[in-house]
Structure 1
Amino acid sequence: MNTLLVPLDHTASAEHLLAYANKLAVRWPAEIVLLYCQPPAADAAAPTSPSGADLAAEEQRLRSLVERLRYQQLTRHDGRRIRYHYRVLRGCLHDHIAAEAARCAAQLVVMSLEHVDCGRQEAPGNHAAAIADLIACPVLVVPPGRRPLPSRLVFSADFSTLPLHTLPRLSALAEAFPGTLDLVQFYAPTERSRRLALKQAQTRALRQLTWPHAHTHLLEDESALEGVSDFCARQQAQLLIIAPASRAELLRYFDACYTTTQAYHTRIPVLVLRSAGTPAYTVCCGKCAERLTREQMQANLLLQSARPA
């Protein structure tokens, strides 16, 4: 049985996230592990950590949400098909996500773009980028709002450097996300001499994938990220798949300048595909925050230098 690990918080988008995960679990099919991490209270007068009664109350809150959506969203048959498991833990999601993904052998983590962790809201997307950096399995980042499962998909990567052994992990998700798949790669004007090599790399990647309707696109653009957002808009894509080559590249996808302006790729789910065998970094929340700040500054500098004067 396939397994979706779904971290939830108490934001308004949590209901939309679970509704999306329910649709995915019915289609695939898969079971759902709901994970809620309760951080210590910020109030000095409150207990330093949640009690067993607090955790039991949070689990009941999750069960109530599940039953309400099961009744409102799913048919009786589909509602009975999904098996739910509940994990309520003390601490921050950063501290537990790697161990929980390994414990339940998750094939996919489905999380909200605006997830709140450690009692604070990260800049939109930064938290999702940090979680994707901590685990090896793919992460599906879902923006707020109700949406259907995708039938038009775009896969953007540098296929000339993407390891082919990464692609079977994506092919394993073909049943969950059937539809038309467009493989797109952008190159700068200075790279025109590499067009043939880039096209051949796309063809090799295409042969490793199991989508019945897949096409390749090789396009020239100074900014690959802005190019892919425009391409997704033209194709009316409903899911963007990315395989970032570095953490800085991943952070750029969720940069505040794109989320603030509601660039197209921030308004559709984004599936982050890690290279198989790439080590995940399991560090504490403080170190994660320091690293994120440092890399976000670097990413912003790169974005500013790439923009025309």
Structure 2
Amino acid sequence: MKTILVPLDLTAASEHAVVYANKLAVRWPAEIVLLYCHHGPTPTAAEMQTLEQRLRTLAERLRYQQLTRQDGRRIRYHYRVVSGCLHDHAQPEATRCAADLLVMSLEHIDCGRPDVAGNHAAAIINLVACPVLVVPPGRLPLPSSAVFSADFDKLDTHLLPRLSALAKAFPAPLQLVQFYSPHHRPDRMRLKRALEKARPQLTWPAITTHLLEDDDQLEGTSEFCARTQTQLLVVAPTSSALLRRLFDACYTTTRAYHTQIPVLVLRQPQPTMVCCERCARHEAQGAAQRTEAIH
């Protein structure tokens, strides 16, 4: 059985994430863990029970309103209330329940602090190892079309089996899209090979590939999704800066197309960073010693 972790802030906006997770849980199938992180003073045992009951009531109300009785009975819910902020508990809770997917609202409020839409989502994605699905406001259908936009030439191929594991949850035709800038035109053949190499490693019902030229990969992706009426965008950012830009206020405020559909983010391993030349030398010496030990 798969497990979907759904962090809630108990606002009306976060209900959309539960509604979407319910649909996935029926189709996949999967069980759902509802997580509420209580900011402020540590609640008493009685207050913790009250908060957990609020989660139960919310789950039962949405199950009754949204699903048929047969589908509703298929979903098994678990409830978790912890004290603190989501960014402190996201990874431990994802590990504890062995989450295959984390589903959260684009407008999730963390630490009781409303922030520019998407900022909290970008922070949580950087913390957890499992894929994260960011759901915008609104009642959205499960996708009938999906786009996977990435730099396939630099893509960590270990992510592809993880994405394939989600194919049953999103059994829609998948379009693989690789953008390149005009000054990378000489690299088109290499990029095309990387794109085609990824294709057979994905177990999707139907896959097509596109190699497109655009100065800006993110804006090109959003325009491509709008043009093809995509209902799910899959991305694998190569840096934290790209991830933050994905949910930047300039896009959420102007309602760019990719902020109006669910975005599934696959976290790629980030290169090791060093803080100074001394640390760089220490890291180089350690790497040399490890190499000698191997040989």
Q: TM-score, normalised by structure 1?
A: 0.86
| Structure 1 pair 190–278 and aligned structure 2 pair: CA distance change class (3 A) | closer
Could you tell me which residue of structure 2 aligns to residue 76 of structure 1? 69
The DSSP-based 3-state class of the residue aligned with 2:61 is helix
Write the distance in 1 (CA, Å) between the matches of 2:156 and 2:242. 17
| Aligned counterpart for 1:194 among listed residues 179, 187, 203 | 187
> May I ask how many residue pairs the two structures share in their alignment?
272
The DSSP-based 3-state class of the residue aligned with 1:79 is helix
Query: Percentage identity across aligned positions?
Result: 68
Could you tell me which residue of structure 2 aligns to residue 161 of structure 1? 154
User: How far off its partner does 1:201 sit?
Assistant: 0.2
Could you tell me which residue of structure 2 aligns to residue 116 of structure 1? 109
| Aligned counterpart for 1:267 among listed residues 260, 263, 268 | 260
The DSSP-based 3-state class of the residue aligned with 2:209 is strand
The DSSP-based 3-state class of the residue aligned with 1:148 is coil
Which 5+ residue runs of structure 1 have no aligned equivalent?
Answer: 41-47, 281-309
Q: Quick one: which amino acid aligns to residue 128 of structure 1?
A: A
Question: In the alignment, does 2:43 pair up with 1:50?
Answer: yes
Write the distance in 2 (CA, Å) between the matches of 1:271 and 1:241. 5
Write the distance in 1 (CA, Å) between the matches of 2:121 and 2:158. 24
Write the distance in 2 (CA, Å) between the matches of 1:114 and 1:190. 37
Q: TM-score, normalised by structure 2?
A: 0.90
CA deviations 1:180-227 (Å, max 9, x no partner) are 100101111000000000000000011110112111101011111110
Runs of 4+ in 1 over 6 A off after TM superposition: none
Write the distance in 2 (CA, Å) between the matches of 1:86 and 1:12. 18
Larger Rg: 2
Q: Quick one: which amino acid aligns to residue 159 of structure 1?
A: F
The DSSP-based 3-state class of the residue aligned with 2:158 is helix
Write the distance in 1 (CA, Å) between the matches of 2:27 and 2:173. 16
Could you tell me which residue of structure 2 aligns to residue 7 of structure 1? 7
Residues 239 and 270 of structure 2 are in contact (CA less than 8 Å); yes or no, is this contact kept in structure 1?
Answer: no
Write the distance in 2 (CA, Å) between the matches of 1:239 and 1:232. 9
Which 5+ residue runs of structure 2 have no aligned equivalent?
Answer: 273-295
The DSSP-based 3-state class of the residue aligned with 1:185 is strand
Could you tell me which residue of structure 2 aligns to residue 235 of structure 1? 228
Write the distance in 2 (CA, Å) between the matches of 1:79 and 1:247. 38
Could you tell me which residue of structure 1 aligns to residue 53 of structure 2? 60
Question: In the alignment, does 2:25 pair up with 1:32?
Answer: no
Residues 16 and 145 of structure 1 are in contact (CA less than 8 Å); yes or no, is this contact kept in structure 2?
Answer: yes
